[in-house]
């Protein structure tokens, strides 16, 4: 016997048993007037109607009328109804059972509806909280099926997107590629949620009025309205993620366009100065067919110097562009900072020739880095220290280990940098107003240093005081050996 049948049989037995109990009790032990018996029976029928289904109450009403008539109404022991009041008793029993049952059924249905609605609201709240945190379409489509699956206690959830015929799923009934045409067809034609095969519900997803795909949800504990709301939520999440992505892309495009214009402007400006000098020197040479040897030498050296500056500027601009586009292949190896400093001093030997150097750099610990690129950083910082301090003033190089990184400092006793400019000097083409006129340079050196150190997962910073000198410090990760 299955459990529903068992419950039904038990209820019938209990209902008639209790009726028999009341009748026997009033017949044998408790002697009361017929009105009291009738009231007890009405109460019993009402309780039955409220607790169980209508059929129990109706059947018991009929039996109660018969028993009341037979045992308690004169003439006792017959079913004869002499008094029309007895018909009224039967009608009262039946009416009580029907009204009671209807009322209790309605109450139960309302309570169930409220409970379902509350559960649905909980599911929707949970889903919206999770889905609205997702910022990209890729993560939204990955997260949505499993989130719906777990929060709606579904057996399986399939998210199908028309764009690219893509399937994303979660649960125990995986869908194969063979079902894609069926899903595509439904995604294109359905406008409201609809039951499909088995206990599967298809919920269309749209962007505005355009179909976007569908959700195929199997075995979820949600009503059709709830499932429609889930579909709406997923559509909104996808729209929102797409809008965020598009806004970020537009912002990035705008920023890169701004940078491009800025670089172009600055480079054009920077190129113009040496070009003007070269042009001027060439014109002087041309206008004077027999220049003095010293004048010719001076003009030629202007041309050479400015051409070198141009060459450096173009070279640095290309290098910066490559570093930013991550086109530079880094050869990371364990390196001794002592060796790097020595090599850098060889390649910019003029620094040691014009300034006394105090170097406190041990061979160990080693850092992980690219030899050539780090050499450029050290060389550039040493050259700056020499360029922006008077000849003969000392330059100090030292290292220390800080929080698993090796910090290398290059300090000078030069002109220093105004606090308002300290954050700007690492920007491309930025040259301090004061020194820009007096010292040759391109304003690219420090931005290249920063790009190189960033790509090594290190950092670079400056502390400086006007007129006192500057300390440039960069950190690099240790190799651990």
Alpha helices in 325-370 (DSSP H): 337-347, 349-354
Q: How far is the CB of 205 from ligand ADP (least distance, A)?
A: 53
Binding status of residue 384 toward ligand ADP by CB under 6 A: yes
* Closer Cβ to ligand ADP, 309 or 366, answer by number: 309
With beta carbons less than 8 A apart as the criterion, state whether 185 and 116 touch. no
By CB under 6 A, name the one of 104, 388, 399, 453 that touches ligand ADP: 388
By CB under 6 A, name the one of 445, 450, 473, 476 that touches ligand ADP: 445
Q: Measured between alpha carbons, how far is 421 from 407 in angstroms, rounded to an integer?
A: 23
Binding status of residue 385 toward ligand ADP by CB under 6 A: yes
- Applying the rule CB under 6 A, the residues between 36 and 75 that interact with ligand ADP are none
* Closer Cβ to ligand ADP, 375 or 441, answer by number: 441
Q: How far is the CB of 356 from ligand ADP (least distance, A)?
A: 16
DSSP state letters, 113-131: HHHHHHHHHHHHHHHHHHH
With beta carbons less than 8 A apart as the criterion, state whether 148 and 126 touch. no
Binding status of residue 412 toward ligand ADP by CB under 6 A: yes
How is the beta sheet containing 357-360 ordered, strand by strand?
357-360, 395-402, 405-412, 469-477, 460-465
* Closer Cβ to ligand ADP, 40 or 389, answer by number: 389
* Closer Cβ to ligand ADP, 68 or 388, answer by number: 388
By CB under 6 A, name the one of 69, 432, 473, 475 that touches ligand ADP: 432
| Residue among 467, 475, 346 nearest 414 (CA) | 467
Binding status of residue 409 toward ligand ADP by CB under 6 A: no
How many CA atoms lie less than 13 Å away from 229 in the CB half-sphere? Answer: 16
Binding status of residue 435 toward ligand ADP by CB under 6 A: yes
Q: How far is the CB of 388 from ligand ADP (least distance, A)?
A: 3
- Two structure tokens written together for 180: 């894609």
Which sign does the torsion angle of CA 46, 52, 53, 57 carry? Answer: negative
Radius of gyration for the chain, computed over Cα atoms and rounded to the nearest angstrom: 45
* Closer Cβ to ligand ADP, 340 or 444, answer by number: 444
Binding status of residue 274 toward ligand ADP by CB under 6 A: no
- Applying the rule CB under 6 A, the residues between 452 and 481 that interact with ligand ADP are 470
Binding status of residue 344 toward ligand ADP by CB under 6 A: no
Q: Measured between alpha carbons, how far is 358 from 355 in angstroms, rounded to an integer?
A: 10
Stretch that binds ligand ADP, among 46-54, 88-96, 123-131, 427-435 (CB under 6 A): 427-435
By CB under 6 A, name the one of 218, 376, 431, 450 that touches ligand ADP: 431
User: If binding means CB under 6 A, how many residues of this protein chain bind ligand ADP?
Assistant: 22
- Two structure tokens written together for 236: 């909104």
Q: How far is the CB of 280 from ligand ADP (least distance, A)?
A: 22
Task: Using the structure block, give the residue that is written with the tokens 């169930």.
Answer: 112
With beta carbons less than 8 A apart as the criterion, state whether 221 and 119 touch. yes
DSSP single-letter state for residue 175:
P
Task: Using the structure block, give the residue that is written with the tokens 């292949």.
Answer: 329
Q: How far is the CB of 467 from ligand ADP (least distance, A)?
A: 11
* Closer Cβ to ligand ADP, 443 or 458, answer by number: 443
Helix (H) or strand (E) holding 452: helix 445-455
With beta carbons less than 8 A apart as the criterion, state whether 385 and 395 touch. yes
Q: How far is the CB of 422 from ligand ADP (least distance, A)?
A: 9
Contacting residues toward ligand ADP, per CB under 6 A: 380, 384-385, 388, 412, 414-417, 425, 430-432, 435, 441-447, 470
């Amino acid at each position: 016997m299955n459990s529903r049948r068992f419950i039904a049989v038990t209820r019938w037995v209990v209902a008639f048993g209790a009726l028999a109990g009341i009748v026997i009790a009033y017949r044998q032990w408790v002697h009361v007037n017929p009105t009291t018996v009738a009231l007890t029976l009405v109460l019993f029928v009402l309780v039955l109607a409220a607790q169980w289904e209508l059929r129990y109450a109706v059947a018991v009403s009929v039996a109660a009328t018969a028993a009341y008539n037979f045992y308690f109404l004169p003439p006792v022991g017959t079913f004869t109804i002499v008094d029309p009041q007895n018909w009224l008793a039967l009608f009262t029993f039946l009416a009580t059972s029907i009204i009671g049952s209807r009322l209790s059924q309605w109450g139960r249905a309302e309570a169930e509806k409220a409970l379902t609605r509350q559960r649905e609201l909980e599911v929707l709240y949970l889903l919206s909280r999770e889905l609205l945190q997702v910022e990209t379409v890729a993560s939204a489509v990955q997260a949505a099926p499993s989130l719906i699956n777990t929060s709606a206690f579904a057996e399986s959830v399939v998210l199908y997107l028309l764009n690219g015929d893509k399937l994303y799923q979660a649960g125990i009934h995986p869908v194969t590629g063979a079902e894609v045409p069926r899903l595509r067809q439904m995604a294109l034609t359905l406008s409201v949620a609809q039951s499909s095969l088995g206990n599967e519900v298809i919920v269309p997803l749209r962007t505005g009025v355009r179909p976007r795909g569908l959700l195929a949800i199997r075995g979820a504990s949600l009503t059709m309205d709830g499932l429609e709301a889930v579909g709406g939520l997923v559509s909104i999440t996808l729209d929102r993620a797409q809008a965020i992505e598009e806004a970020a892309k537009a912002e990035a495009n705008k920023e890169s366009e701004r940078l491009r214009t800025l670089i172009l402007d600055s480079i054009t400006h920077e190129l113009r100065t040496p070009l003007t000098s070269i042009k001027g020197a060439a014109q002087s040479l041309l206008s004077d067919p027999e220049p003095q040897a010293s004048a010719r030498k001076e003009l030629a050296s202007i041309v050479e110097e400015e051409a070198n500056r141009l060459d450096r500027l173009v070279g640095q601009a290309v290098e910066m562009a490559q570093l930013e586009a991550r086109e530079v292949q880094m050869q990371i190896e364990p390196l001794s900072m002592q060796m790097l400093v020595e090599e850098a001093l060889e390649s910019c030997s003029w620094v040691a020739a014009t300034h006394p150097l105090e170097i406190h750099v041990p061979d160990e610990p080693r850092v992980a880095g690219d030899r050539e690129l780090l050499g450029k950083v050290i060389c550039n910082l040493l050259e700056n220290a020499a360029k922006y301090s008077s000849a003969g003033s000392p330059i100090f190089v030292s290292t220390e280990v800080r929080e698993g990184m090796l910090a290398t400092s290059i300090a000078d006793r030069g002109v220093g940098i105004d606090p308002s400019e300290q954050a700007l000097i690492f920007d491309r083409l930025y040259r301090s107003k004061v020194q820009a006129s007096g010292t040759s340079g391109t304003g690219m050196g420090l931005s290249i240093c920063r790009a190189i150190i960033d790509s090594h997962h290190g950092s670079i910073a400056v502390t400086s005081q006007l007129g006192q000198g500057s300390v440039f410090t960069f950190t690099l990760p240790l190799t651990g050996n």
